[in-house]
Chains A and B, each alone.
Chain A
C-alpha cells in the first residue's frame, strides 16, 4: 500500500457507500445502515492504521491525481497529509465511527433510516475530502458539500416544521459565511496566483507584505459560518432539531470544527490585525454563549450553546496563540515552534472537545431515547440510578468540559488556550476564565437536574439503560475524554501527532504553571459546586428564573440576535429583495422556500410575452439583430 492509496480508500469508502445506498438502500434501512457503518469502520481502521503504523509524520504533498489537464492548465485532485489534516483525520475517523455505531441503536426504528445513513456517508465523504484537500478550490467544493449534507441531515425529520426551518436557517447562514469565504479565496488566488496550499505558504513567506487584513477577515467569514462564531452563530442551536447523532457528529466532531480546521490549515494568511479581531470574536462568543446556556431547558440546546462557547475558546486560542507565536519574545524562547502555537492550541482543544462533546451529545441522545424523545431537562431527573452507565459517562463528560485539573483532557487543552491568552491580553484571559467558570456551572446544572434528584415526569420514571450499541460508544468516548489529555503518557493519540498536539502547545512553567492550575481548579470546582448547591432542589421551574429573574431574562434573550435577524429578514430584506436583490430573492426565497416567488414569476411572464407564437414577430427579432449589427458596422466605418 502506498500513502495515496490509503487516502483514496478513506475518501472513497463513504462515497461508494453513499452511492450504493442511493441505488439500493433507500427502502432498505438495514442494508443502508450496514453499508454506512461498514464504510465508517473502514475509515476508522484505515486512518488509525495510517496514523499509528504507516505514516512517519513527514508532510506528504504532491499526491495529486490529475483531474483535468488542459495544456498548461491542470486541475488536480490533490491530497496532502500533514499534522493538521492528520489530526482532523484522526478525530473524524474515530468519533465518526463511534457515532455511526450509536446511530444503529438510536435510529433503529426510524422510517427514514436509509436516507439518514446515506446522508451520514455523504457527510463523511465531504468532511474527509475537505480534510485531505491540498488546494483552496477543492476545499471550497467540499466545504459546500459539507454544508449541503448537513442541511440534509438537520432536516431529517422534515415533517416537523421546526426541522425544516432549522435546516433552512443553517443553509442560509452558512451561505452568507461561504460568500465571504469565496471572495476571500478569490482574493487570495488573485494576490498570490495559486490555490495550492503548499505553494501559497511559500508565496506568503516570500512576500508577506501582500497579505491584507481584509483577506483574513473574509476567510474568517466562512469560518464564522461553519464554526458558528458571533454573529453567524444563530443556526447552530436551531440545528438541534436534527436527530441527536447528527448533532453529535456535526457539532462535536466535524462540521463545526471545520471552521477551526480551516484556520489551522491556513494560519499564514492572517495578519496581526485580523488575528486580533478573530481572537476577540472568539472570546466574546465563548463568554456570551456560556451565559445564554443558563436560560435553556432543552438538553440539546444547552449542549449546543456549550459547543458555541468551546468553539469560541478554540478560535480565541488560535488568535492569541498565533499572536503570541508571532511575537519576538516567543520566537526567541521557542524558535520556529512558536509559529505553530495558535494552530496547536486550537487543534488540541478541538481534539479533546471532539471526544467529550461527542460523549455529551451521545449521552444526551441516550437519555432522550430512554425518555421517549423528551428533551426538557425539567421533565427528567434521577436518571443516574436508572441509567448508570449513561449517567457515569455523562458525568465524566461534564468533568472534562468543566476542565477539572488532571482528571480531564479538557483541562490540558483549555489551559493551553488560557495561557496564550494571558500572555497576550490579561483582559481576554479574565473573560475566558469567566467563561470557563460559567461552563462548569451550567454543565453542573445540566447534570444535577437531569441525573440527580427525583424523576419529574412519567417518561423519566420509566427510563432504563439503553442497549450496548448505544452505551459502548459512550464508554469508549469517556475513556478518550479522560486520557486524551495525557498526550505523551497514554498511547491514545498517534505519536505522529505529538508535534502539533503537544510540542506546538505552549506549556507554562514554574510559578505560572501553578497559578494557572489553581485558577482552573478554582473555576471548575466553584462552578460545579455552585451548580450543585443552587440547582440541587430544583423542581419544575428553573431556580434562576425564580430567584433572579432579571438575570434569567438577560440570558434568555440571547442578546436578541435571532430577533434582529428575523426582523431584518421580515421587514427589510423581504421588501428590498423584491425590488433590488435579484440574487437574494432567487436563492433565499426562490430556491429554498417552496413555490415560485413573485420575482421569478415576473420574469417568466416577461419571457412568455416575448414568445408570441407569431412567426412575423420572430422575424422581427432577426431583423432587429441585423439592424444592431449594421449600426455597429456603420459606427465602426464612421469612427
Chain B
C-alpha cells in the first residue's frame, strides 16, 4: 500500500474544511467566545490556503514568497483582532453577566 503524496488539493480541502467550520461556527454557536474562535478559524483557513498555494505554485525562477509573507501579517492581525474581541467580551461580561450572543440583543428594530 502506497501513501498518496500530499498534494495541493489536500491542503485546499483542509482549508475549505476550516473555512466551513468557521462559517458554520459563527452561524450556529451562541457563545461569543466560540464565535470569536470560529472567526479566527476562518482566517486560519486562508493561511493554510496561502501557504499551500505558495508552495505548490513555486517553480524554478519564481519563488512565490508573497503568500508566505502575507501569512505573517495575517497572524499579527488575527492576534490584534482577538485582543480587541476579548476585551469587548470581558467588558460585556462585566456589564451583563452573559456570553450568550442570543441574549445580547438590546440594540434592535
B28 (CB) vs chain A CBs: closest residue = A616
The complex places the Cα of A613 from the Cα of B106 at a distance, in Å, of: 7
Give, as a whole number of angstroms, the nearest-CB distance from A624 to chain B.
11
Q: Is the CB of A623 within 8 A of B27?
A: yes
**How far apart sit A616 and B30, CA to CA, in the bound complex (Å)?**
8
Contact assessment for A619 and B102 in the assembled complex, using a CB-CB cutoff below 8 Å: no
Most chain B CB within a 10 A radius of its CB, from A608, A609, A615? A615
Instruction: Decide: A616 and B27 in contact? CB cutoff 8 A.
Output: yes
Q: How far is the CA of A619 from the CA of B35 in the complex (A)?
A: 11
Q: Which residues of A contact B28 (CB under 8 A)?
A: 616
Give the nearest-CB partner of A607 in chain B.
B109
Q: Check if A74 is an interface residue, CB within 8 A of chain B.
A: no
Chain A 602-620 interface mask (CB, 8 Å, partner B; 1/0): 0000001101111110011
**In whole Å, how far is A634's beta carbon from the nearest beta carbon of chain B?**
16
Q: How far is the CB of B37 from chain A (nearest CB, A)?
A: 15
Query: In the bound complex, how far is the Cα of B105 from the Cα of A611, in angstroms?
Result: 10
Please determine whether A613 and B101 come into contact, CB atoms closer than 8 angstroms: no
How would residues 543 to 566 of chain A score, 1 for a CB under 8 Å from any chain B CB and 0 otherwise?
000000000000000000000000
Distance of A152 Cα from B7 Cα, bound (Å): 76
* B108 interfacial contact with A, CB 8 Å: yes
Cβ 8 A contact of A620, one of B27, B101, B106, B109: B27
- Cβ A613 vs Cβ B105 within 8 A: yes
Q: How many angstroms from the CA of A121 to the CA of B40 in the assembled complex?
A: 63
CB proximity to A under 8 Å, residues B1-55: 23, 26-28, 30, 35
Quick one: CB contact mask for B86-109 with A, threshold 8 Å, 1 for yes?
Answer: 000000000000000110111111
Chain A contact residues: over half helix, strand or loop, or mixed?
Answer: helix
Alpha-carbon distance A414/B11, docked complex (angstroms): 93
The distance in angstroms between the C-alpha atoms of A614 and B28, with both chains bound, is 12
- Residues from chain A with a CB closer than 8 A to the CB of B106 are 613
How far apart are the CA atoms of A616 and B32 in the complex, in Å?
A: 11
Neighbouring B residues of A616 by C-beta, 8 Å: 27-28, 30, 101-102
Q: Cβ of B109 and Cβ of A615 under 8 Å apart?
A: no
B46 nearest CB across to chain A (Å): 15
Residue contact B102 to A614, C-beta cutoff 8 Å: yes
From 43 to 82 in chain B, residues with beta carbon under 8 angstroms from any chain A beta carbon are none
Q: How far is the CA of A619 from the CA of B105 in the complex (A)?
A: 14
Number of interface residues of B (CB under 8 A): 14
Instruction: Provide the bound-state CA to CA distance between A620 and B28, in Å.
Output: 10
Q: Is the CB of B108 within 8 A of A619?
A: no
Chain A nearest CB, measured from B35 CB (Å): 8
Q: Return chain B residues, CB-CB under 8 Å to A611.
A: 108-109
Q: How far is the CA of A44 from the CA of B107 in the complex (A)?
A: 59
**Category for how many chain A residues contact B:** 10 to 19
Flag if A608 contacts B109 (CB, 8 Å): yes
When the two chains form their complex, are residues B27 and A615 in contact, meaning their CB atoms are under 8 A apart?
no
A533 to B109, CA, bound (A): 73
Inter-chain contact A619/B109, CB cutoff 8 Å: no
Q: Determine if A612 and B101 form an interchain contact, defined as CB atoms under 8 angstroms apart.
A: no
A560–B43 alpha-carbon span in the complex (Å):
73
Residues of chain B within 8 A (CB-CB) of A614 are 101-102, 105, 108
Nearest opposing residue in chain A for B23, CB measure: A623
CB-contacts of A585-639 with B (<8 A)? 608-609, 611-616, 619-620, 623
Closest chain A residue to B32, Cβ basis? A615
Whole-angstrom distance between the alpha carbons of A623 and B20 in the complex? 11
- Residues of A near B35 (CB, < 8 A) are 615
A613 — which chain B residues lie within 8 A by C-beta?
105-109
Assembly CA distance A623 to B42 (angstroms): 14
CB distance from B92 to the nearest CB of A (A): 12
User: B107 contacts which chain A residues (CB < 8 A)?
Assistant: 613
Give the residues in chain B near A609, CB-CB below 8 Å: 109
Assess the B23–A615 pair: CB atoms within 8 A: no
Quick one: closest A residue to B108, CB to CB? A613
Shortest B62–chain A CB gap in Å is 29
Alpha-carbon separation in the docked complex, A595 to B16 (Å): 53
A531 to chain B, nearest CB (A): 67
The 7 closest A-B pairs by CB, nearest first: A613-B108, A613-B105, A608-B109, A615-B101, A614-B105, A619-B27, A611-B108
B interface residues, Cβ below 8 angstroms from A = 23, 26-28, 30, 35, 101-102, 104-109
Residues of A near any B CB (own CB < 8 A): 608-609, 611-616, 619-620, 623
Q: 7 other contacts beyond A613-B106, A616-B101, A620-B27, with CB at 8 A cut-off?
A: A608-B108, A609-B109, A613-B107, A614-B101, A615-B35, A615-B104, A616-B102
Interface pairs (14), CB distance under 8 Å:
A612-B108, A613-B106, A613-B107, A613-B108, A613-B109, A614-B101, A614-B105, A615-B35, A616-B30, A616-B102, A619-B26, A619-B27, A623-B23, A623-B27
